Every structure is written in structure tokens, then in C-alpha cells.
A and B are shown apart, each in its own frame.
Chain A
Amino acid sequence: MAKPLIEIKGVRHAYQTQSGQLPVLDGLMLAVPEDGFCAVVGPSGCGKSTLTRLIAGLLKPDEGEVWLHGELVRGPKSIVGMAFQNPVMLEWRSVLQNVMLPLEIVTTRMSRREQEDRARHLLALVGLDGFEDKRPSELSGGMRQRASLCRAIVHQPEVLILDEPFAALDAFTREDLWQTMHAVKEKEPFTGVLITHDLREAIFLADEVVVLSGRPARTQYVMDVHLKGPRDIEHLYTPQTADALGILRHQIQIAQGRAPAEEAGP
């Protein structure tokens, strides 16, 4: 395996609360190779979102190191794109202007015209052509999430961080968006970290699934996904996938403390 693009080494992070320190991450390890896509699953409140903020440089770990592309992360860097469960559209801008927002912050050599073309191209890629000049309030939840995805990759980030982007969508829209993700990844390669609560989503989208333990979270289990590259929904209904899901479900139960840990740790 090549040198990982994202590398997290023994990260510890605690929040200061009124009743003292609340450690959320402790001894977390994670490595994602270039163009890899890693899904992180774990019990509720185990610090998955904290992990995304650490990778983005929005938080500093108390201990341990976060490396991106061979560089120690010390603060926010423009090589990161983020999308959240809440698509956070700026209601006073058109969909197109929303997608172009990161280009106003990141220094690019693109002209205004090229920026607009790139945003239009991405919107077409996720199936939002014809909606460029609409207000975000005129879009459905799934469409807003598609636009949010475009905004996260418009500046060609090296790392795409997805924090449960599909969690609030209905099942059919979610499956649509899973397939959109594969289409996007084929055309616009990125190295991704996906936080999710949905084990099927993790297997369908990622190359590698990392299970975090309960709080304080450490890396409990790492699974190499048997599916490679773009895949069809049908692949979710094969015996191999069922086996993989069974293993992950069991690992989550261990993490929740509902099953004995006979073989804890990777």
C-alpha cells in the first residue's frame, strides 16, 4: 500500500465540560490511501464528528497527530471539502452561487467564467442541471444534499469529509445518492472519509470500513470491503455482503457493550 494520504496516529481528544474532562477519542488510528474511501461507523456519540473536525484542522488533538498528504495538520487547510447531514445552503444565494462559495475563499487560477463552468458541470454530474438559478428553498432535501456535495468538491479538495450526509433522507433518495457518489468519484477522484450510522451505506460506498469503540473511541475493527469500484444496489443483496454486514453488526454490538469482546482490536 502506498503512503496513506490521511493518517491519524493515536489521536486523543477531550471536551471540557462542567463535570470535568469528557474524553471522546483515545488512541484512534486511521489511514486512508490516496483515492481511498473510508467509512467510519460506531455507536452514537462516540466522537465521529469530532474526528471529521480533527481531519479538517478545525480542532487540535490533545495528543497524537493528524497527517494529510505528508504534512502535519496544524490548522484549517483549503485542501479539504466538507458536507454534513444538514446541507447548510445559503438561502440568499442561488444554487449555482452556493456551489461556487468555496472558490471565493480558496485561491484558484480559474477565471470567473471557468469557475461558473465548473460549478455547472458538477451540478449536471449530480443531476441538478436546470436548477442552477433556483433558490435552495425550492429544492427537495435530496437535491439540497446533491448541491451540498457539489460545493464540497468544487475546489477539487484532496480530502472529502462526509459527516452523515444522507442520514436525513428517505431510503429511495439515499440509494439514488449512493449511486451518484460512485458516479462523482469516477469523474472527480477524491480521497474520502464518510461518517455514517448505516452499515449498508458503509459497505456500498467505501473500500474500507472502520468500526470505532464506544466513548472514548479508539479503532476497534477495520474491514476491507469485498466490493471494488463502482457498484450496483444489487451487490448489497449477495451472501458476501450479508456476511460482511453480519460482522460489522457484531462489531457495533461489541462497541456498544452489548456483546462480549472475544477478539477486540484489529
Chain B
Amino acid sequence: MNLRQVAVPVAALVIFGLCWEFLVWANGWPNYKMASPSDLWPSFWKFRWLFLEYGWDTLWRTVAGLVLAVLCGVFLGMVMGLSRTMRDALYPLLVGFNAIPKATVVPIIALLFVGQHDMNTILIAFLISFFPIAVSVSIGLSTLEPEYRDILASLGASRFTIFWKIALPKTLPEFFGALKVAVTLAFIGTNLMEIVEPHGRGLGHLFDSGKISADYPLMFAVLIALALMGILLYYVVVALERVFAGWAERAPT
């Protein structure tokens, strides 16, 4: 990674912050309408320990939900990608499930597992983010050109060998594409649970406290903290993608 790759996004962030600051200043908006970046620092500083503690809560529960989504999504994707019958059977169910607004699922989950806050939160993060993974893995597997299968099948290779040596690595770029979408979705899931069913933990709860105490800069600060964590996790996925599917990236021409 060279200087340019770091400097360009950082410069873009600074310019964005400046524009935001200018917009608020030029319009003379009060804090309760729109906080400006310069109002956020005091909030961050004042609640710095809560930000660390709650940020960690949100982060680990999001990652746990994401890991669950990867495991279940890949499994469902495999089942649907390798069997036509299963694809026909499961697609309508999955699409229907995905169409349900997850905010409506939150109270159901909260009632189902009363008091299990960690599990509830992880569950919502998982439910909201497994769909793109399942779909992309199933599409990656079901669109494998028959020739890829034939070069190994003609040698008497087992279905598992073909899957392991060809289908799985060939699907990795699609998988990582979906994982990038899933990362941000998982954050939405975690915070949905933390805000709709506050249980005293997580950045969602901090946001809710800001709302209750009319501390608008705090609410904006939480949003910025969430955005930063989203960026962090996204680039972790990008790094993993480089390692495992770097071959799919073409050299710039």
C-alpha cells in the first residue's frame, strides 16, 4: 500500500468533514438540527470510556453474527448451488424471509429469548446478513461452466474433489463481494437490536441515551463511530480477499 492509496481516501474524508462543517455554519443550524464535526469532539472525549466499552460490545457481536452468517450462508449457498431441487425449494423461502423488515423481527426475537441480549443481538446481525452470502455462493456454484467439472470428472474425480479443487476457489470472488455487503448489513442488524430493544449495552444503547437526554452531538458521534467501525471491518474483508482471492484482481493495464 503506497502513500497515494492512503492519502486519497483521507483527503476525501477531510474534505467531506470541511463541507459538513461549512454547511452547518453557513446555515446557522443549531445542534438539535444538525451537529457539526467540531461539536463531536467534546462528545467523544466526554464519553470516551463508554465509546470504547460499547464500541467493543457492538463490534464483537457484529463479528459473531457475521461469522454465523458466513457459515450458514455458505452452507445454504452450497446446498442451493449443487442441487436444483433444493434451489427451487429454498429460493422463495429465502427471498420471502429477506423481504421481512428486520425491525419487526426484533421484538419477536427479544420475546423468544428474553434476557439473552448477546444472543439476540448476534441473531439479528446474522439474520440480516446471511442472505447475500447464500445467494452469491449458490449463483457462483450453479453457474460453473460444465467444462470445469468435466476436466476433473473425466478423470474419475469425486464430487467432493471437484468442489474442493474447482468450484470452491472459483466462487471465492463472488463470496467476498457478498461479504462486503454483509459486513455493513450486520452492523445495521446489531444496532437495530441495540436501539429497538435497549438493554444497556452497545453503541445503539449510547445512541438511545443521547436521544433521551437530548444530547444531539452524542447521537451524531455514535453514528460516526459506527461508520468508522464499518470502514474498519470492511477493510479487514478487503485484506482477506487479497489473501484468498487476490488472483481475481487483474493487474492494472
Which residues of A from 30 to 70 have beta carbons under 8 Å from B? 53, 56-58
B166's partner among A78, A80, A90 (CB-CB below 8 A) is: A90
19 further contact pairs, Cβ within 8 A, besides A92-B170, A102-B151, A105-B157 = A53-B150, A58-B150, A75-B156, A76-B156, A76-B157, A78-B155, A82-B150, A84-B147, A84-B150, A84-B151, A90-B165, A90-B170, A91-B247, A92-B169, A92-B248, A101-B165, A102-B155, A138-B251, A151-B151
Min CB gap B134→A, angstroms: 22
Main secondary structure of the interface of B (DSSP, over half): helix
B22 vs chain A, min Cβ distance (A):
46
CA distance A78 to B156 in the complex (A): 6
User: Is A104 located at the chain interface by the 8 A CB criterion?
Assistant: yes
Cross-chain contact A90 with B155 (CB below 8 angstroms): no
Determine the chain A residues whose CB is within 8 A of the CB of B155 once the complex forms.
Answer: 76, 78, 80, 102, 105-106, 155
Chain A residue nearest in CB terms to B154 = A56
Task: Point out the residues of chain A lying under 8 angstroms from B88, CB to CB.
Answer: none
Say how far B126's CB is from chain A's closest CB, in angstroms: 29
A135 interfacial by beta-carbon distance below 8 Å: yes
- Given the contacts A75-B156, A76-B154, A88 and B148 also touching, CB distance less than 8 Å: yes
- What are 23 A-B contacts with C-beta separation under 8 Å? A57-B154, A58-B153, A75-B156, A76-B153, A76-B155, A81-B154, A82-B150, A82-B154, A84-B150, A84-B151, A88-B151, A90-B148, A90-B165, A91-B248, A92-B169, A101-B152, A101-B165, A102-B155, A105-B156, A106-B156, A135-B247, A137-B250, A151-B151
Tell me the minimal C-beta distance from A77 to chain B in angstroms: 6
Q: Which A residues from 62 to 115 make CB contacts under 8 A with B? A: 75-78, 80-82, 84, 86, 88, 90-92, 101-102, 104-106
Residues of chain A within 8 A of B169, CB atoms compared: 90, 92
- Complex interface residues of chain A between 188 and 238 (CB less than 8 A to chain B): none
> Ordered nearest first, which 4 A-B pairs have the shortest CB separation?
A56-B154, A92-B247, A105-B155, A76-B156
Kindly list chain B residues whose C-beta atoms are within 8 Å of the C-beta of A78. 155-156
Taken together as a complex, chains A and B put the C-alpha atoms of A86 and B96 apart, in Å, by 38
Q: Which residues of A contact B (CB under 8 A)?
A: 53, 56-58, 75-78, 80-82, 84, 86, 88, 90-92, 101-102, 104-106, 135, 137-138, 151, 155, 161
Q: A133 CB to closest chain B CB, in angstroms?
A: 13
Residue of A nearest to B166 (CB): A90
Q: Are A88 and B152 also in contact (CB < 8 A) when A105-B157, A105-B161 are?
A: no
Within 8 A of A (CB), among B110-166: 145, 147-148, 150-157, 161, 165-166
Instruction: Give the docked Cα–Cα distance between A138 and B250 (Å).
Output: 9
What is the CB-to-nearest-CB distance from A182 to chain B, in angstroms, rounded to a whole number?
24
Given contacts A78-B156, A82-B154, A135-B247, contact A104 B148 (CB under 8 A): no
Which residues does chain B contribute within 8 Å of A76, judged by CB atoms? 153-157
A151, B152: Cα distance in complex, Å: 11
Whole-angstrom CA separation of A138 from B154 in the bound complex: 27
Smallest CB-CB separation from B250: which chain A residue?
A: A137
The CA of A81 and the CA of B152, in the complex, are separated in Å by 10
Q: What's the minimum C-beta distance from B219 to chain A, rounded to whole angstroms?
A: 45
Chain B residues with CB under 8 A of A58: 150, 153-154
B152 touches A105 (CB 8 A): yes
Query: Please, how many angstroms separate the alpha-carbon atoms of A77 and B157 in the complex?
Result: 9
CA distance A91 to B247 in the complex (A): 7
**Chain A positions within 8 Å of B148 at CB level:** 88, 90
| A contact residues around B150 at 8 Å (CB) | 53, 56, 58, 82, 84
Closest to B172 in A: A92
A151–B147 alpha-carbon span in the complex (Å): 13
Shortest C-beta distance, B16 to chain A (Å), equals 36
Collect the chain A residues with CB atoms within 8 Å of residue B157's CB.
76, 105
A175 nearest CB across to chain B (Å): 24
Shortest Cβ distance from residue A59 to the other chain B in the assembled complex, whole angstroms: 10
Q: Are B145 and A88 in touch, CB under 8 angstroms?
A: yes
Chain B contacts for A106, CB-based, 8 A: 155-156
Q: Are B147 and A86 in contact (CB under 8 A)?
A: yes
Instruction: List A contacts of B172 (CB < 8 A).
Output: 92
Name, among A75, A90, A138, the residue most crowded by chain B CB atoms within 10 Å (CB to CB). Answer: A90
In the bound complex, how far is the Cα of B148 from the Cα of A92, in angstroms?
13
- Chain A nearest CB from B169 CB (Å) reads 5
Please give, as numbers and ranges, the residues of chain A lying within 8 Å of B151 by CB-CB distance: 82, 84, 88, 101-102, 151
